């Protein structure tokens, strides 16, 4: 577990979290800016989810508001967590249809990028697609598999998650669109991911598991699903068999420079 400068806010006895006004203003800045950036770039299923969640612009939403919509649509809810949680807790939550949300928001100094997933990343980036049954099914299956996986297998599953749930693209009749929450919560990566600068490959789960990544750079490679339903189909395939195959084949050479010491 790495350390973090952020501290998740605690709810009162009624489950209400009282955020200071300055933090509501940061939320407003983030959501107002990003809603403009994702126009014509986010996939339709994500936009449908944004509409269903009806996220407030002037304040940070309460977790109960998000859970109410998710439970109605796919049976999911969000769970309040600290800034960073171990893999085991992460998989346990997903396996029980609970999506972890850290109840802190980034500072003005880290408006464009932070390593820890904050409430804006989790709620704006991921929760809209948790209203979609295909996406929700894959995320649930992923949690159950991760819970039963070995430490080494989890590393390969982490790459699959990173290159789908966090940084995935999808082909549509209108062109490539974004569904990955790591992209959709970042203005810079939203523009970059659909540009001609990075490499784009057709999604292959084994190839994704063999692809090294870094969390602190723009991704050099994105995998594009043929359609979002491919995640639902993958949830019913032998993902752990694919993990074993990826482990035997080994990792690809990184497409990025090593991190400076």
Q: What's the CA gap between 132 and 210, in Å, rounded?
A: 27
How is residue 146 written in tokens? 């991760």
Q: What's the CA gap between 132 and 34, in Å, rounded?
A: 21
How is residue 31 written in tokens? 């959501």
Could you tell me if 134 and 231 are in contact, meaning their C-beta atoms sit under 8 angstroms apart? Answer: yes
Beta-sheet pairing, 169-172 with 175-178? antiparallel
Q: Which phi and psi (to 5°) does residue 85 adopt?
A: -130, 155
Angle of helix 239-249 versus helix 133-148 axis, rounded to 10:
60
Q: Binding site membership for Fe cation: which residues?
A: 121, 126, 166
Given phi > 0 = left and psi -120 to 50 = alpha, else beta, which region is 216? alpha
Q: Binding site membership: which residues?
A: 121, 126, 166
Q: What's the CA gap between 124 and 49, in Å, rounded?
A: 10
Q: What's the CA gap between 135 and 206, in Å, rounded?
A: 19
Which among 31, 106, 15, 19 has a CA at the least distance from the CA of 65?
15
- H-helix or E-strand containing 120? helix 119-120
Q: What's the CA gap between 26 and 58, in Å, rounded?
A: 9
Q: What's the CA gap between 114 and 62, in Å, rounded?
A: 22
């Amino acid at each position: 577990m790495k350390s973090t400068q952020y501290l998740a806010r605690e709810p009162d006895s009624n489950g209400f979290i009282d955020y200071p006004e300055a933090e509501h203003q940061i939320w407003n800045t983030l959501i107002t800016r990003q809603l403009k950036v994702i126009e014509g770039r986010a996939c339709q299923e994500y936009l449908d989810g944004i509409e269903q969640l009806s996220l407030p612009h002037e304040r940070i939403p309460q977790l109960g508001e998000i859970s109410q919509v998710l439970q109605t649509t796919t049976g999911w809810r969000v769970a309040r967590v600290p800034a960073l949680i171990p893999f085991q807790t992460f998989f346990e939550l997903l396996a029980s249809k609970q999506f972890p949300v850290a109840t802190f928001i980034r500072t003005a100094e880290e408006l464009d990028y932070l390593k820890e997933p904050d409430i804006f990343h989790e709620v704006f980036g991921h929760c809209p697609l948790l209203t979609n049954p295909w996406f929700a099914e894959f995320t649930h299956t992923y949690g159950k598999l991760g819970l039963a996986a070995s430490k080494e297998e989890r590393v390969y599953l982490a790459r699959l998650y990173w290159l789908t749930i966090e940084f995935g693209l999808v082909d549509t009749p209108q062109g490539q669109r974004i569904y990955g929450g790591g992209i959709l919560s970042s203005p810079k990566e939203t523009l970059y991911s659909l540009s001609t600068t990075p490499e784009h490959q057709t999604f292959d789960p084994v190839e994704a598991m063999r692809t090294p990544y870094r969390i602190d750079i723009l991704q050099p490679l994105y995998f594009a699903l043929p359609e979002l339903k491919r995640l639902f189909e993958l949830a019913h395939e032998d993902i752990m068999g694919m993990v074993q195959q990826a482990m035997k084949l080994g990792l690809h050479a990184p497409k990025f420079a090593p991190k400076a010491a």
